[in-house]
């Protein structure tokens, strides 16, 4: 048991503290110290007014950043190859045709600002320590004025880029604090010191001769923390010349390194910043060197003379697709070939956009091209393609043959393209997938794999993973709904469209075996959508649907549908739909084999208002080999343009390999699986993924009256910028998350997962009368990661920071364990996962001189498995007032205190006289984050 426990703890440390691995699909590669295939994409919402300046400044910034990265990584990496994807509308820009580059998966995106960030560059990070981010966001205005005021405001652009690149690629976090932030404050006191320091990681801590403390109001010492309150900020003077860290002080010219565990560039592991909280106080350099780019001596230091990258400017002109369909004999089972035909027709006729190119291949024992690449131009081209769809199934299964024919179609158009591979059986004829895999990867094509039935070839998900594609699974007991989702999911790789062209899925549901034959449902049309409203029903048999009615919020009733029985679709279209709740009623026959599915879509109501959109995904990829060591995370991103929608209700529906489906509520609380609170990314661990097989994920989002758009005018739990948030009103959204496969069942030997590590612990207040008490608050973890309720907490405090760090926690040291009898408010009994828990307890002082104490905790489950220790916080206790009488020591103290008071008054007067109202963030506007 002890051996198993130790192994498990080692795995958890690697996965939850330094959890390296891909968090988003990317084509970036590092070979011989050179990063290639970096994609910078410009949104279609960016006008071409400043196109020349923006393109010049992107290249200037990354060109300079290459040598900065090379220096910071100690000669291990630089930027070599960058692709800049411009919108189709930028007709004044000379460019080549794009191949595999897409806006939706670009590493760097140029788009209008998110109101909460303004023009400040930032990186979307949805994973934990060591997990790469999703993309870097720059605004057109930032890039347009890159070398003028922005250098003074945000710092040198080349260092800004390396700072954000480190978030994106290496999964490290900021090493500075924020104003009005209890978790990551602006000031703190180092261990065994009464000197107040700014919350920075720097090898040369600023002293008061190199730092001004200025005021934005009455600046005082906060009795709770013992440091300056929220009215106090700092300004670093030019004579402050540290060497590190680029994750903290990147706006300072002398900073060229990351903090590390070396004495010269020492990491400040006691500073209460986000990096220390998320990464267990490991240094940034330690996390970077454990990234696959550099781990195991990958890309060792190398002397490279030429560090300037090359740039290619490319333009989207429509995507290229090849449908590769299995027509082996087993496709006759469960009516698969018919379902394939019907879904393919729907996709070609209604979903794939004009300007795209489509070719088709069918394979059985051998493969053949059934349509060369055809550009979609209206109904005639669509009907011509539909006429070539396969309708017969016979023979064996040669998937490699089909892939080779697909590459034959794509090759004349250059690298890239999307292959939709649908198969239902195991490979029987050569070449097999593994024999053509390297050829497919070299082609730059992405594979969207569709596994039809549970006997489909196991290696197709690997094919999707290797080509940065997607995977879908279609159950034989399902109607055509899942297959439709898979086809539509491939359209992710079409060129990005402007905001007014985005199609939003408001509602989707499948119905089969309907009790009583009557379906009554409702959905909401919110104020951001309503234009080009489509109510669509996909059915298996036309006579299964007996009657239909749809009632608008004002009471108008619609009963007429337009049928397309060839593709088995019925639709109602409105140029504009009313805002409010819509009710529909469907009457179906008693058939138990037929089914239908309802889709409701719309576009933005106004070209000036972006719609609320939803993405659903599993960041670990399409194939998971060890869910014991790397638990499955499910994410949903809910946004209005670049602004997050927070406090929405989000649930993931997971179809299991066997047994009933499961529903998992996702949270945006900044705890456990969720990295950042209120960023519009809702997350949760799925601890039920223990059986080998294929899982399908779908996300559902709605407002229960609490959802609002975080547009920067109202920030929960911080200083309010406006009196009320921007409420969304009632809305509904649906999104498919595709499928993932677990290679084999996880051996279940008792309890698999411990509780999650707590990363958002902070001190609410301290009191000295009566007794010394501290009030802490945190998000409760679960029995298994973030599910259920843990069995107990172990809370410890100590005057020594190291007593609570890592493996020292709980060992025989100076730390004190909090018992239930010490608790004066709240309880040591854990609350259900996701709850905000507050506990006040009495602390025993070690001696009169020690006033700073450190606190940390961990949760324990019912089988005795313990979580990793939480982030460490400090509680500062003021000096006790004597009850009666004055000792000589006290009198001397009063005299000394009086003298210090005079000096303090003089200092404050001096500061007021200077009247410096400067920002704490040393020219990077971090106070506005």
In this structure, which long-range contacts are made by residues 549-554, counting pairs with CB atoms below 8 Å and at least 24 apart in sequence?
Answer: 549/584, 549/585, 550/582, 550/583, 550/584, 551/582, 551/583, 551/584, 552/577, 552/578, 552/580, 552/582, 553/525, 553/578, 553/579, 553/580, 553/581, 553/582, 554/578, 554/580
Among 900, 463, 478, 887, CA closest to 655: 478
For residue 367, tell me if it sits in a domain.
Answer: yes
Give me the pLDDT at residue 20, please. 46
Q: 190 and 70, same structural domain? A: no
Q: 346 and 469, same structural domain? A: yes
For residue 680, tell me if it sits in a domain.
Answer: yes
Rounded to whole angstroms, the Cα distance separating 48 from 607 reads 18
Phi first, then psi, for residue 831 (nearest 5°) are -95, 170
Give me the pLDDT at residue 152, please. 64
What SS3 state is found at 910?
Answer: helix
pTM for the predicted model, two decimal places: 0.87
C-alpha 778 chain-centroid distance: 22
Q: Which of 164, 260, 655, 700 is catalytic?
A: 164
Q: 342 and 484, same structural domain? A: yes
Q: 773 and 849, same structural domain? A: yes
Task: Return the CATH number at 365.
Answer: 3.40.50.410
Q: 488 and 501, same structural domain? A: no
For residue 529, tell me if it sits in a domain.
Answer: yes
Q: 165 and 44, same structural domain? A: yes
Q: 447 and 586, same structural domain? A: no
Structure token digits, residue 461: 């998900």
For residue 10, tell me if it sits in a domain.
Answer: no
For residue 399, tell me if it sits in a domain.
Answer: yes
Task: Return the CATH number at 510.
Answer: 2.60.120.380
Q: 384 and 250, same structural domain? A: no
Task: Return the CATH number at 653.
Answer: 2.60.40.10
Q: 143 and 61, same structural domain? A: yes
Q: 634 and 603, same structural domain? A: no
Number of structural domains the chain divides into = 7
Provide the domain limits for residue 191: 175-219+226-280
Give me the pLDDT at residue 889, please. 38
For residue 15, tell me if it sits in a domain.
Answer: no
For residue 441, tell me if it sits in a domain.
Answer: yes
Do residues 685 and 785 lie in contact, with contact meaning Cβ atoms separated by under 8 Å?
yes
Mark the ranges of the chain whose per-residue pLDDT is less than 70: 1-25, 148-152, 208, 224, 479-480, 714-723, 745-750, 812, 847-850, 878-929
For residue 694, tell me if it sits in a domain.
Answer: yes
Q: 894 and 785, same structural domain? A: no
Q: 530 and 443, same structural domain? A: no
Q: Where are the beta strands (DSSP E) in 453-528?
A: 470-474, 503-512, 518-525
Is 164 annotated as catalytic?
A: yes
- The partner residues of 239 in beta bridges, in order of sequence, read none
């Amino acid at each position: 048991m002890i051996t198993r426990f130790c192994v498990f703890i080692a795995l958890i440390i690697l996965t939850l503290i330094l959890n390296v691995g891909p968090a988003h699909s990317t084509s970036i590669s590092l070979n011989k110290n050179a990063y290639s295939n970096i994609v910078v994409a410009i949104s279609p919402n960016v006008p071409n007014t400043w196109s020349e300046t923006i393109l010049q400044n992107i290249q200037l910034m990354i060109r300079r950043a290459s040598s900065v990265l090379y220096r910071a990584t100690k000669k291990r990496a630089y930027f070599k190859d960058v692709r800049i994807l411009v919108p189709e509308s930028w007709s004044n820009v000379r460019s080549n045709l794009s191949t595999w580059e897409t806006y939706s998966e670009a590493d760097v995106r140029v788009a209008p600002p998110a109101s909460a960030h303004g023009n400040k560059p930032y990186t979307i990070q949805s994973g934990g320590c060591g997990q790469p981010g999703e993309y870097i966001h720059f605004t057109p205005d930032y890039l347009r004025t890159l070398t003028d005021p922005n250098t003074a405001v945000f710092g040198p652009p080349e260092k800004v880029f390396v700072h954000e690149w480190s978030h994106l690629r290496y999964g490290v976090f900021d090493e500075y604090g924020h104003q009005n932030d209890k978790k990551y404050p602006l000031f703190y006191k180092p261990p065994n010191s009464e000197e107040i320091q700014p919350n920075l990681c720097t090898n040369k801590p600023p002293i008061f001769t190199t730092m001004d403390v200025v005021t934005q109001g009455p600046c005082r010492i906060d009795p709770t923390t013992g440091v300056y309150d929220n009215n106090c900020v700092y300004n670093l003077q030019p004579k402050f010349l540290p060497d590190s860290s680029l994750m903290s002080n990147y706006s300072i010219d002398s900073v060229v390194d990351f903090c590390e565990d070396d004495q010269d560039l020492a990491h400040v592991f006691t500073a209460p910043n986000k990096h220390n909280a998320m990464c267990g106080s490991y240094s940034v350099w330690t996390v970077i060197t454990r990234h696959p780019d550099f781990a195991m001596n990958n890309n060792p230091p190398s002397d490279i003379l030429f560090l300037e990258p090359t740039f290619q400017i490319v333009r989207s002109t429509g995507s290229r697709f090849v449908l590769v369909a299995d027509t082996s004999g087993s496709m006759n089972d469960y009516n698969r070939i018919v379902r394939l035909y019907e879904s393919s027709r729907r996709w070609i006729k209604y979903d794939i956009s004009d300007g795209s190119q489509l070719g088709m291949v069918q394979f059985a024992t051998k493969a053949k091209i059934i349509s060369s690449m055809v550009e979609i131009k209206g109904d005639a081209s669509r009907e011509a393609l539909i006429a070539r769809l396969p309708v017969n199934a016979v023979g064996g299964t040669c998937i490699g043959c089909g892939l080779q024919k697909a590459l034959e179609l794509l090759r004349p158009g250059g690298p890239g393209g999307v292959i939709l591979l649908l198969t239902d059986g195991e490979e029987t004829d050569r070449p097999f997938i593994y024999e053509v895999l390297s050829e497919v990867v070299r082609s730059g094509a992405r594979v969207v794999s569709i596994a039809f039935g549970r006997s489909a070839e196991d290696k197709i998900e690997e094919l999707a993973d290797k080509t940065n594609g997607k995977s879908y699974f279609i159950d034989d007991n399902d109607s055509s709904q899942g297959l439709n989702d898979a086809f539509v999911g491939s359209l992710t790789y079409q060129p990005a469209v402007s905001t007014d062209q985005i199609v939003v899925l408001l509602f989707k549901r499948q119905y089969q075996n309907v009790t009583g034959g009557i379906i009554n449902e409702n959905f909401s049309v919110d104020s951001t959508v309503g234009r080009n409203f489509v109510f669509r029903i996909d059915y298996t048999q036309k006579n299964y649907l007996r009657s239909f009615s749809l009632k608008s919020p004002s009471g108008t009733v619609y009963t007429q549908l337009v049928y397309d029985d060839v593709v088995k679709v019925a639709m109602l279209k409105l140029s504009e739909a009313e805002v409010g709740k819509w009710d529909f009623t469907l009457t179906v026959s008693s058939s138990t084999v037929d089914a239908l599915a309802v889709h409701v879509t719309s576009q933005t109501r106004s070209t000036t208002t972006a719609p609320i959109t939803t993405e659903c995904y599993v960041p670990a990829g399409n194939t998971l080999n060890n869910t014991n060591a790397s638990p499955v995370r499910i994410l949903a991103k809910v946004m209005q343009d670049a602004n997050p929608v927070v406090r929405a209700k989000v649930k993931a529906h997971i179809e299991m390999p066997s047994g009933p489906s499961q529903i998992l509520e996702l949270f945006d609380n900044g705890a456990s699986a969720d990295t950042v609170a209120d960023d519009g990314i809702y997350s949760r661990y799925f601890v039920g993924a223990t059986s080998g097989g294929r899982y399908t994920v779908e996300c559902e989002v709605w407002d229960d009256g609490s959802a609002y758009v975080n547009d920067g005018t109202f920030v929960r739990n911080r200083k309010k910028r406006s009196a009320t948030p921007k409420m969304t009103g009632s809305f509904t959204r649906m999104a498919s998350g595709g499928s993932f496969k677990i290679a084999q069942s996880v051996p279940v030997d008792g309890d698999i997962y411990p509780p999650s590590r707590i990363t958002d612990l902070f001190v609410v207040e301290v009191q000295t009368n009566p007794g010394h008490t501290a009030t802490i608050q945190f998000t409760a973890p679960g029995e298994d990661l973030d599910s259920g309720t843990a069995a107990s907490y172990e809370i410890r405090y100590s005057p020594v920071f190291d007593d609570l760090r890592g493996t020292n926690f709980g060992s025989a040291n100076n730390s004190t364990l909090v018992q239930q009898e010490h608790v004066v408010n709240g309880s040591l009994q854990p609350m259900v996962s996701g709850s905000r828990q507050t506990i006040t307890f009495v602390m025993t002082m070690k001696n009169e001189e020690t006033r700073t104490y450190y606190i940390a905790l961990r949760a324990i489950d019912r089988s005795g498995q313990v979580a990793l220790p939480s982030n460490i916080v400090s509680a500062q206790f003021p000096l006790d007032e004597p009850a009666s009488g004055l000792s000589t020591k006290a009198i001397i103290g009063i005299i000394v205190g009086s003298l210090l008071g005079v000096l303090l008054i003089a200092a404050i007067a001096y500061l007021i006289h200077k009247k410096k109202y400067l920002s704490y963030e040393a020219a990077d506007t971090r106070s506005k984050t």
